[in-house]
Amino acid sequence: MANDTLTIKDNRTGKEYEVPIENDTIKAMDLRQIKVNDADFGMMSYDPGFKNTANTKSTITLVDGGNGILRYRGYPIEQLAESSTFLEVAYLILNGELPSKDAYEKWVYDITHHTIVHENIKDLMSAFRYDAHPMGMFISTVAALSTFYSDSGDIFNEEARDLNITRLIAKVPTIAAFSYRHLMGFPYKLPDNNLSYTGNFLSMMFKMAELRYEPNPALERALDVLFILHADHEQNCSTTTMRTIGSSQADPYSALAGAAGALYGPLHGGANEKVLRMLREIGDVKNVPDYVERAKKGEFRLMGFGHRVYKNYDPRAKFIKKVAEDVFEVTGRSPLIDIAVELERIALEDDYFVERKLYPNVDFYSGIIYEAMGFPVSIFPVLFAVPRTVGWLAQWQEMLADKEQPIARPRQVYLGEGERDYVAMDKR
Ligand code: ACO
């Protein structure tokens, strides 16, 4: 008998089955042969939330949650955050290798020259209510973009696909900035092609009456690093949504709008917004112990704590603490950081959090940095969606090329009523 197989004995029938093991997994479809009788549908695996189900093979991002490791295409996140730029990392994630100088310059040029949106996008965004949440505006506007490009659904045409990927990466900061300007009641500002990706984003956000906006280099770099840290995170909730929608061969704008919708939730990318609101609610370092006790009683969760995959310190959260110090040197120290540090200290010493391996995640400190940089709280999930656009697109592109990926369509265990006859309303 080969070693790389799994023997399963069905005690209902006494029958044994041998299924192949590949990459430490078995194929769920191999379970289907396990039947009590010929009429039996066959065995399935039951896995709510996909806690132990690999949905794909991927070569993009490695998250080793037990050891607190994150790598894009093999490169450790710490090295990329230290030495690379967001657009270089975007190229790496999408193409698998770091770019040559020429390839990098072309890539930056292409992104820079696709940042403008159609004038009708402005009209569309102006139609939102004055207090619309920026993430709602972002999601809807990204979806609307598909209607502006007749080739958006031409997903198996490499040229069209690359162009739409470029468009999306180039335009998401513009849409994000417009959503902020709408919220504030400020006029929309056009992109400035002389600035970097993040410098231009800051310009579109914060430029007022001055002729040219000069981003602070330390803040521009801090934002670039934050974007690198958020660029991809393998098969999380929003990426799975991107792949699921993409598996029906929908255009990338529609799929990305869905992914952004998944990111919006407070258990995912909406957590950074909730962290800030939580820290404000705590209000003072002296209130931290009481707040932690209430979280332990199950009154609420500590936002920015815990992760489905990391059962160790999130490596992004470690790096973000350093970024926070760089930002505070420019902006002054946020009073919320002291509450955050105390919350982390108490939680990491507490048995409840230790036993459950609950560590601060990427969202715990990012919100404090964004606030210090002048971003309003409600735009935080949008600040997550902008860099994650790269990861979503890379994962979508990988899925399209993967011959093993059919349309996503999970099974269910039906526990409802058996067949019964309709009862007229006056007889119920
Ligand atoms: N505060 C208090 N208790 C928590 C927390 C928390 N933040 N997170 C998990 N727990 C507890 C649960 O109550 C549960 O305890 P129990 O075993 O006594 O029932 C245990 O830890 C395991 O929790 P699960 O919900 O099973 O863990 P899961 O992997 O499903 O959830 C999640 C992960 C959603 C991130 C969760 O930790 C959470 O809700 N965190 C707060 C929200 C947050 O910060 N989300 C951002 C995630 S990072 C990102 O998306 C970028």
pLDDT in tens, 108-163: 999 999 999 999 999 999 999 999 999 999 999 999 999 999 999 999 999 999 99
Paired strand residues for 61 = 72
Instruction: State mean pLDDT over 174-180.
Output: 97
- The sign of the CA dihedral 87, 92, 95, 100 is positive
In three-state secondary structure terms, 18 is strand
Nearest to 378 by CA among 260, 230, 274: 274
Burial of 215 (0-12, 13-18, 19+ CB in 10 A): buried
Ligand 1 atom 11: residue of nearest CA: 356
Residue 304 alpha carbon to ligand 1 centre in Å:
9
Instruction: State mean pLDDT over 211-240.
Output: 96
Q: Is there an atom of ligand 1 within 6 Å of 381 CB?
A: no
Q: Does residue 1 register a pLDDT over 90?
A: no
Instruction: State mean pLDDT over 93-106.
Output: 98
Active site residue 363: yes
Paired strand residues for 75 = 72
Cβ 107 vs Cβ 99: under 8 Å:
yes
Mean pLDDT of the chain: 95
User: For the chain, how many helices (H) and strands (E)?
Assistant: 17, 5
Tens of pLDDT along 400-414?
999 999 999 999 999
Q: Does residue 63 register a pLDDT over 90?
A: yes
Count of CB atoms within 10 A of residue 23's CB?
A: 6
Residue 316 alpha carbon to ligand 1 centre in Å:
17
Candidates 118, 151, 154, 268; catalytic one: 268
DSSP at 33: G
At 269 the pLDDT is 85
Residue 307 alpha carbon to ligand 1 centre in Å:
6
Q: Tell me how far apart the terminal alpha carbons of the chain are, to the nearest angstrom.
A: 61
Q: What is the DSSP string of 211-248?
A: SS----HHHHHHHHHHHHHTS--SS-HHHHHHHHHHTT
Domain ranges of the chain: 76-265+380-391, 271-372
Q: Is there an atom of ligand 1 within 6 Å of 311 CB?
A: no
Say whether 271-372 and 76-265+380-391 share the same fold. Answer: no
Residue 196 alpha carbon to ligand 1 centre in Å:
36
DSSP at 371: H
Cβ 18 vs Cβ 5: under 8 Å:
yes
Specify the CATH number of the domain 76-265+380-391: 1.10.580.10
Paired strand residues for 5 = 20
Hey, what are 375's tokens? 């971003």
Q: What is the DSSP string of 258-298?
A: HHHHHHHSTTTTTHHHHHHHHHHHH-SGGGHHHHHHHHHTT
DSSP at 367: H
Q: Is there an atom of ligand 1 within 6 Å of 343 CB?
A: no
| Domain 271-372 grouped into CATH 3.90.1150.10 | no
Q: Does residue 270 register a pLDDT over 90?
A: no
Query: How sure is the predictor about 348, in pLDDT bands with cuts at 50, 70 and 90?
Result: confident
Q: Which atom of ligand 1 is nearest to the CA of 304?
A: 44
